[in-house]
Amino acid sequence: MEINKFEDVFEGKLAKNEMIEPKDWMPENYRKHLIRQISQHAHSEIIGMLPEGNWITRAPSLRAKVVLLAKVQDEGGHGLYLYTAAETLGVTRDELLNNLHTGKAKYSSIFNYPTLTWADIGAVGWLVDGAAIMNQVMLQRSSYGPYSRAMVRICKEESFHQRQGYEIMTHLAFGTNDQKEMAQDALNRWWYPTMMMFGPPDSESPNSENAVKWRIKRETNDQLRQRFVDQTVRQVEYLGLTVPDAHLKWNEAKNGYDFTEPNWVEFKNIISGNGPCNKERLAARNKAHDEGKWVREAAQVFAKKRSEVYEAA
């Protein structure tokens, strides 16, 4: 079969909403796009463990500690499913990790902000995991089979994460004046960084068009951001808090809110490595990787010995 025949099969599958599987022919740009997107996603899950892991020892009750611990462990699991999905595209785990550890690969800008108070753990679960769900629900129907299947399980866990965050916010927002102030302060600091999670405006997003064309993504950055604002404003109102945006206003004609865009200069600065915590996050990840070397070596020796026993039997 000539290349254009392969291409016809590929396009035909996309048109019929069928999945592309690792053994199928795919255009090189599609493969590259997926490796970039899935590995950035995996790195975000792993780096995302750091700002919250930071609070496990300081959780205000045993229940809160157990819940947070479970959530942070889930994020580690998400990273592993996603690295495995990326590996089916012909890239090795070592290459992927090396790109993260040397700062070559990107991860979500949001994890370069500090978690200063316990209310931040509430805001992260509620807003950051909430935004992640909005992005990820559509990825369950992504055209690449292994990515799509990983996302089904991830989404179930993300909705638990969102609820645990909102529960923390509810306790604080309906608590004492000081607690309510803490909740408002966390909302003020996390609102705009969360909106940045959907990526730059469509007019400046070079990868968005291909991602939609190939059915990797089903909606654009701006569509998702609008939906997030519309949904979250109601939750803010229920909590009796205020969205930190003086220009937020219901627009009847578009059946959604008008709102202030996040600061895109700040966003670019963070994704190029200069956010408040970029260096700290990479240093912590590298330290954890180096300290885990003996575990990886031991696991490999054990696996080798075990296969020798099976072969001899």
The residues that touch Fe ion, with contacts defined as CB under 5 A, are: 45, 75, 78, 129, 158, 161
Pick between residue 19 and residue 133 the one whose CB is nearest to Fe ion: 133
Shortest distance in whole angstroms from residue 74 CB to Fe ion: 6
Pick between residue 135 and residue 184 the one whose CB is nearest to Fe ion: 135
Q: Are 108 and 82 in contact (CB under 8 A)?
A: no
Half-sphere exposure of 136 (CA within 13 A, CB side): 25
Shortest distance in whole angstroms from residue 251 CB to Fe ion: 31
Q: Give, as one character, the DSSP assignment of residue 20.
A: B
Dist CA 106 CA 50 (whole Å)? 16
Pick between residue 157 and residue 261 the one whose CB is nearest to Fe ion: 157
Q: Is 144 helix (H, G, I), strand (E, B) or coil?
A: strand
Pick between residue 75 and residue 87 the one whose CB is nearest to Fe ion: 75
Q: How far is CA 243 from CA 189, 191, 251, 252, in A?
A: 11, 8, 16, 19
Shortest distance in whole angstroms from residue 158 CB to Fe ion: 5
Angle CA 67–184–70, to nearest 5: 10
Shortest distance in whole angstroms from residue 152 CB to Fe ion: 13
Shortest distance in whole angstroms from residue 286 CB to Fe ion: 21
Pick between residue 120 and residue 158 the one whose CB is nearest to Fe ion: 158
Shortest distance in whole angstroms from residue 95 CB to Fe ion: 22
Pick between residue 20 and residue 168 the one whose CB is nearest to Fe ion: 168
Angle CA 254–257–263, to nearest 5: 120
Half-sphere exposure of 294 (CA within 13 A, CB side): 1
User: What residues contact 52, with CB distance under 8 A and at least 6 apart?
Assistant: 68, 71, 72, 75, 115, 121, 124
